[in-house]
Structure 1
Amino acid sequence: MNFTFEPAAGLRDVTLRDGLQLTGKLLPTERKVETVRELLRLGVPEIELGSMARADLVPPMANTLEVVQALSPEELQKCWIWVATPGHVAKAAAAGARNFQYCLSASESHNQANIGRSTEASLAALPQAVRYAQEAGGRIQLCIATSFTCPFEGIVPEERVLAIANDPRTGGTCDIVICDTLGQAVPAQVSGLIRRVRDESPERRIVYHGHDTWGLGVANTLAAISAGASAVDGALGGLGGCPFAPGASGNTATEDILFATRPDWLTPETFAGLVNVSEKLLAELGEPNRSKAAQGSRSKAEAFDWVIASDTVPACEGSL
């Protein structure tokens, strides 16, 4: 019997930024660098390595610039860093970063809670951030948080997201990231908004960032891909959440997205390696593994190629 899978989109693993935000633990720089290199070696196309958020507010991000400085220019070409101001871009660029994700919220209340300023102020500062990124020879994304719902305001109108996407001050951004920050959207909402962004705003790569709070993370991701998203975000083991968004839980699991989409680079062996990387990291952090695919890979149904045989050492064991 032949099976048809959703068209594969590029996967960006956001474990080291969105994934770590709610853990409360600062993972050592060396361990973060090792994780970046393990993921790249296994074939993950893009990684979000950290954030320029204030360390007193988001302690797990305190050593982000040290991680940037430890990576090679070639590795940094595949890595993104979360920024919210032109100053963030300048500091990150000075450390060696070249790919920047400039984030603001569609809802005013969340932008104030998350970034400490109005959405309008964030938009007004974006052109300068774009200039700094371009002067560094880099790229910058427009990331719109709370694109579907806000923890303080409820449903966010699609027209609000489209107004931001079409604001002339967003010119120069290479991608647009549409975020289901709270994981409260359903597939019809996701496909509808992604399709409108594709059809009614400037041509850019569309990235979908989803959370699995209500159990629809994979379904929403597949809906986004079908509607035109060419890249999607996930975190190992479903780790993550926003510290400034009450009700937000973990990201859609990287393992679940990859198992569902089966990109060309993913094999049962590389999948086993990813599961191993995930399990080791989650154990260090004292966090549960929320990935259903990872749990399935440890089942006893060993006739299925994607199950990790009990006598098999995962591909990344002993690496680095």
Structure 2
Amino acid sequence: MNTADTAPVILRDVTLRDGLQLTGKLLSTERKVAVVRELIRLGVPEIELGSMARADLVPPMANTLEVAAALTEQELERCWVWVATPGHVAKAAAAGLRNFQYCLSASDQHNQANIGRSTEASLAALPEAVRYTQQVNGKIQLCLATSFTCPFDGPVPEERILAIANDPRAAGTCDIVICDTLGQAYPAQVGSLISRVRAETPARRIVYHGHDTWGLGVANTLAAIASGAAVVDGALGGLGGCPFAPGASGNTSTEDILFATRPNWLNPQVFAALVQLSESLLGELGEPNRSKSAQGARSKAQAFEWVINSAQSPACEPSL
């Protein structure tokens, strides 16, 4: 049984992986490195750096290893990389990465579309991925995409998630990531599944990964936190989506999650810098900004300290 985590909830920014998957424009290695360093400078605890997915299938991920090579060992300690096979882990580890997010889908059809194999085949390969991770003293997460609904199979039963979470082949994973890949879940549903994972599966950190397709991204994130999630994922400006999940749209916004949860490292000046970073990045990519908090920060309510003009501080301006 998992025990309650009394530490403050941790935000992991997934802009550079899940956020970029559907963008038409690509970011250079230098730009990605600058984004990582700015997020770290501003206090973001964890970052999803990129993916080992095939570059011909997900072109924005092509320079993930180049980004890793440009970062210091201390910077990489804050970064995670998406992997789907033991070979991915070995290749990423050779590039200096030590934190791996091993992803498979709870639904077979999505796993076939996303990874090219059955869910069972992905599970069968997990122990080898864990061994590679242990050889480099790394950490590996069990990441379950389509934990609530599948674009091909429909609703995913909670028992399916619990069965995978309790599978002995997942031994050695440090975290379990519960993903609302399509953004179709609702708060009571999220709370129920997270609570059951916490109570009925091996003790490990619970990560919630949500999308805002139906407008419930922040509400679902808060429900996950209330039910035991220790880490929650977000992307700047609500950027992102899965290229192999019809109907999926952007991630829950990093800015919206932070404005709602108010971690102790966040203040109006840091928030302003995050909004400016987001605006700059989305402008380069030609993508809309879906963050309601970022929109609020640009309002004319000057008496509110979180509005940009009243919060702006030169010390916290992005260095990009």
TM-score range (shorter-chain normalised) is over 0.9
Post-superposition offset of 1:313: 5.5
Which residue number corresponds to residue 141 of structure 2? 141
Which residue number corresponds to residue 167 of structure 1? 167
Task: Kindly provide the CA deviation profile for residues 71-130 of structure 1, in whole angstroms up to 9, marking residues without a partner as x.
Answer: 000000000000000000000000000000000000000000000000000000000000
Q: CA RMSD in A?
A: 1.2
The answer to whether 1:127 aligns with 2:122 is: no
Contact 2:302 2:309 in 1 (8 A): yes
Partners of 2:90 and 2:26 lie apart in 1 by: 24
Post-superposition offset of 1:314: 5.9
Which residue number corresponds to residue 263 of structure 2? 263
Which residue number corresponds to residue 4 of structure 1? none
The answer to whether 1:78 aligns with 2:78 is: yes
Q: SS where residue 16 of structure 1 aligns?
A: coil
The residue identity in structure 2 corresponding to 1:170 is A
Partners of 2:288 and 2:74 lie apart in 1 by: 33
Post-superposition offset of 1:137: 1.3
The answer to whether 1:38 aligns with 2:38 is: yes
Runs (5+) with no aligned partner, structure 2: 1-6
Q: Please give the TM-score of this superposition, normalised by the length of structure 2.
A: 0.96
Task: Kindly provide the CA deviation profile for residues 161-219 of structure 1, in whole angstroms up to 9, marking residues without a partner as x.
Answer: 00000000000000000000000000000000000000000000000000000000000
The residue identity in structure 2 corresponding to 1:231 is V
Partners of 1:285 and 1:81 lie apart in 2 by: 22
Contact 2:269 2:312 in 1 (8 A): no
Post-superposition offset of 1:26: 1.8
Q: Please give the TM-score of this superposition, normalised by the length of structure 1.
A: 0.96
Identity, in percent, stands at 81
For residues 103-122 of structure 1, what are the structure 2 equivalents within 5 Å? Answer: 103-122=103-122
The residue identity in structure 1 corresponding to 2:165 is A
The answer to whether 1:228 aligns with 2:260 is: no
Q: How many residues align?
A: 314
Task: Kindly provide the CA deviation profile for residues 6-58 of structure 1, in whole angstroms up to 9, marking residues without a partner as x.
Answer: x9410000000000000032200000000000000000000001000000000
Q: SS where residue 48 of structure 1 aligns?
A: strand
Runs (5+) with no aligned partner, structure 1: 1-6
Q: SS where residue 176 of structure 2 aligns?
A: strand
For residues 198-209 of structure 1, what are the structure 2 equivalents within 5 Å? Answer: 198-209=198-209
The residue identity in structure 1 corresponding to 2:225 is I
Which residue number corresponds to residue 95 of structure 1? 95
Contact 1:89 1:129 in 2 (8 A): yes
Q: SS where residue 287 of structure 2 aligns?
A: coil
